[in-house]
Homo-oligomer: A and B are copies of this chain.
């Protein structure tokens, strides 16, 4: 299925010290041309769009030695619940292309995904206060606070490497206490609540679990792939958020995991 996306696009070129200003209207012309081509012939991904614009910027600004393009877009995917019912869920995609004349093009593919975390610490404390009774098989998990979590994954690789944004979204959704859904029938709602309480996670756990899945998935990407994972929980028991982030490389993750 073709998907049409509304994009926010930021473009940058550098300027030699001998020139007073950049020819800004060329930036808009480049975007207009690429958008027109995209209507004639579908574009394969946001990062391909970013790379195409980036390349054309260097063509058009003959005095520039470096170009950079950022694109953000709303995105939608169909998800299947445990009951087999389908639901359309919303995401944010981010792409970036950077090109130093002479060097190759680098691209970044990213996704921002909303899910849910349940706190392991409060669960433990409630249990302690309640006398740590022996849990029977089939017992419900202990109550804790849970909340909306926003997790961002970004991979930066040479242009020729393949990274699918859909895979990043899948990794993020597998790393929450539970993914979340726009429509939940009663039994499905209970299922999400149970799933989240059976997988209590700190924001630090969410980052760690995303990194583990990235390590497992991207065996073919080079060691110097830059990996950024950040996770922010909109704490239900506080007015502030809790946030964890790691910026690393696939090489470092591979070394850590040995």
Instruction: Name A's B-contacting residues (CB within 8 A).
Output: 4-6, 12, 15, 17, 20-22, 24-25, 28-29, 32, 35, 74, 87-90, 114, 116, 121-122, 125-126, 129-130, 138, 140-148, 178, 180-187, 189-190, 192-194, 196-197, 202-205, 234-240, 242-244, 256
Contact = CB atoms under 8 A, between A and B. Distances in A.
Considering residues A4, A142, A182, which has the most beta carbons from chain B within 10 angstroms of its beta carbon?
Answer: A182
Contacts of A129: 187, 190
Contact of A146 (B140, B146, B183, B256): B146
Contact of A148 (B142, B194, B205, B234): B234
A140 B130 contact: yes
B142 A145 contact: no
Contacts of A234: 147-148, 234
Say what secondary structure dominates the interface of chain A.
Answer: mixed
A215 to B, nearest CB: 14
Contacts of A205: 20-21
A4 to B, nearest CB: 4
A189 B124 CA distance: 11
Nearest to A197: B143
A21 B202 contact: yes
Nearest to A90: B239
12 contacts: A21-B203, A22-B244, A32-B183, A116-B237, A122-B190, A140-B143, A142-B143, A143-B143, A143-B194, A146-B146, A180-B238, A184-B238
A181 B21 contact: no
Given A130-B138, A180-B239, 19 more contacts: A6-B74, A12-B243, A21-B121, A24-B242, A25-B183, A25-B185, A114-B239, A121-B189, A122-B189, A129-B190, A140-B143, A147-B147, A147-B234, A148-B236, A148-B239, A180-B238, A182-B239, A182-B240, A196-B237
Contacts of A35: 88
